[in-house]
Chain A
């Protein structure tokens, strides 16, 4: 069965600190996709990254970086030098190849304090 677990319900950090959001997933497929989305108060889900199961290279995009480890079924997201505008709910998600739905975790609400 597919499952995504985000154990951190809510995190608060002071601006400029680094913060890591954890994500653990379960799937029986060998081919799958992992995602991170950001949801600001406006409600729209903003796509951040998609990673397929065959690409375990870590990725960096500006202040954002992602650590994909198949051995521990984790896909963690780090924000470096956090800013107040990073405050939002962040969702980790999973989609199996050929399956048209995305399974979301429950999200982590991130507060960046000025």
Chain B
């Protein structure tokens, strides 16, 4: 069991740029979810991927998109970065319909300047 790893750990981008964050799921998990955690807030659900397709989405605009690969690793892409996108982005892997058996990574802290 390897846990969930995310890269990079920290990132600074300029407003308007695009960013890609990466997540390697825990071994055996087929589902990955992404959360955004603004400073002083709880994590908010962005979307979930299962078998390489989006399986649910929170209240985030289309400039937030993702990919899941056959090895269950995943990417979160954000286009046209805004200052409010500055946050900790957390990846969580699970088995679909396991109703909460999530393993979270340590996150990527994104700062948009």
Q: Which A residues are within 8 Å of any B CB, using their own CB? A: 4, 33, 35, 37, 42-47, 50, 52, 91, 93, 95, 97-107
B interface, size bucket = 20 to 34
**With the chains together, A101 CA to B96 CA distance in Å?**
11
**With the chains together, A47 CA to B56 CA distance in Å?**
22
Q: Which B residues are within 8 Å of any A CB, using their own CB? A: 31, 33, 35, 40-45, 48, 55-56, 58, 88, 90, 92, 96-97, 99-107, 109
Whose C-beta in chain B lies nearest to the C-beta of A33? B100
B106 engages A104 (CB within 8 Å): no
What is the distance, in angstroms, from B81's C-beta to the closest C-beta of chain A? 20
A44 engages B104 (CB within 8 Å): yes
Complex partner residue of A106 from B41, B58, B96, B101, CB under 8 angstroms: B41
B43 engages A104 (CB within 8 Å): yes
The 7 A-B residue pairs with the shortest CB-CB distance in the complex, in nearest-first order: A104-B42, A101-B45, A45-B104, A44-B106, A43-B107, A33-B100, A100-B48
Complex partner residue of B106 from A33, A37, A42, A106, CB under 8 angstroms: A42
**With the chains together, A56 CA to B107 CA distance in Å?**
33
What are 15 residue pairs bridging A and B, where the CB atoms are less than 8 Å apart in the complex?
A: A33-B99, A33-B100, A43-B107, A44-B105, A47-B104, A50-B101, A95-B100, A98-B99, A100-B48, A100-B97, A101-B48, A102-B43, A103-B45, A106-B40, A107-B41
